[in-house]
Amino acid sequence: MSFVAFQFPGQASQYVGMARDLYEAFPLARELFAQAQEILGFDLAEVCFNGPEERLKQTAITPPAIFVHSAIVTALLRERGVVPDMAAGHSLGEYSALLAAGALSFAEGLRVVKRRGELMQQAGTIAPGTMAAIIGLDEGAVAEVCTEASQAGVVQPANFNCPGQVVVSGAVQAVHRAMELARARGAKRVVELVVSGAFHSPLMDYARQHMGEVLAAAEIRDAQIPVYANVTARPVRSAAEIRQLLHEQLSRPVLWQNTVQNMIGDGATIFYEVGPGNVLTGLLKRINKEVPGRTVGTAEELAQV
């Protein structure tokens, strides 16, 4: 069996000008941006198209921007008869995957990601932290680096992105110490990320506590297709399980490499990266060179599908 997999990007895939060509070309895009403005209480299209970048990068604005962009492309692909057999999303992107799977409506998904972004920003103020990408060390070496650096505070692996690329997250001093140790162990590159908090670490506990109430109140349905969860890298369909895993996701690592490998093992023969940017298509090449990946985020890319 051969299956179409949709993968949805998370934070850091946004850019000024995102979705403008879709807005100009398709009434459906204009309709979803109008709905978004009503739900959010501000003109998201204006920020997406014109920035400034500093505003678009805010944790309260980036999630709705990426979610809406991915939702538009998902709907336009569906109109063309391109639908996923399975889906996954990186961190925030998991909500876009659940929308594609019918587990969330557009309005409900947007309300939840807006609140999630606000809570994450608040958590970053209450317990300041940072994140860093470590390239060129294996998972075991990064785990050892975090254990040693944790004498300076909380630090742990946050994203297992692909072979040789692990992101760590935690208290500022502890992450800086982990960066030093990783360089000393021979990491090819160590890059601190521009983020407003220590995502996918225990420093997100404030957000996780309050997110429990948000998810309990949200209308989440059983998924119509398997959605591979960040926390387990395994397929999930039941609404109750989806709710639980989304709650855990805030302070647990994103098992992206395992997720993609499991999707391929379960029959995925092509991956469409649905939404802004090409980060996940780049990771796919490092995880498995044999399986093709295509980005679908612009009107031009959509026309080529």
Average pLDDT, stretch 13-26? 97
Answer for the pair 200, 170: CB distance below 8 angstroms, yes or no.
no
* Whether residue 50 has pLDDT greater than 90: yes
Average pLDDT, stretch 65-81? 97
Pairing type for strands 165-170 and 155-162 reads: antiparallel
What is the reported pLDDT for 58?
Answer: 87
Band (pLDDT 50/70/90 cuts) for residue 2 is confident
Average pLDDT, stretch 224-249? 98
Q: Which residues contact 120 (CB under 8 A, 6 or more apart)?
A: 59, 196, 197, 199, 204, 207, 250
What is the reported pLDDT for 60?
Answer: 82
172/141 Cα distance (integer angstroms)? 20
- Cα–Cα separations (whole angstroms), residue 266 to 42, 89, 269: 41, 17, 9
Cβ-count burial 217-239 (b if 16+ within 10 Å, e if not) = ebebbebebbbbbbbbbbbbeeb
pLDDT averaged over every residue in the chain: 97
Tens digits of per-residue pLDDT, 87-121?
999 999 999 999 999 999 999 999 999 999 999 99
- Cα–Cα separations (whole angstroms), residue 14 to 90, 136, 222: 13, 26, 29
Catalytic positions: 91, 200
Length of the chain, please? 305
**How many Cβ atoms are within 10 Å of 281's Cβ, its own excluded?**
18
78/75 Cα distance (integer angstroms)? 5
Average pLDDT, stretch 118-143? 96
* Whether residue 68 has pLDDT greater than 80: yes
What is the reported pLDDT for 59?
Answer: 82
What is the reported pLDDT for 53?
Answer: 93
Would you call 244 exposed, middle or buried from its count of C-beta atoms within 10 A (0-12, 13-18, 19+)? middle
What is the reported pLDDT for 92?
Answer: 97
What is the reported pLDDT for 15?
Answer: 96
Residue 6: what residue type? Answer: F
* Whether residue 209 has pLDDT greater than 90: yes
* Whether residue 153 has pLDDT greater than 90: yes
Average pLDDT, stretch 121-147? 96
pLDDT above 70 as % of the chain: 100
This prediction has a pTM of 0.96
Which residue's structure tokens are 């209450």? 126
What is the reported pLDDT for 79?
Answer: 96
* Whether residue 1 has pLDDT greater than 80: no
Residue 128: what residue type? Answer: P
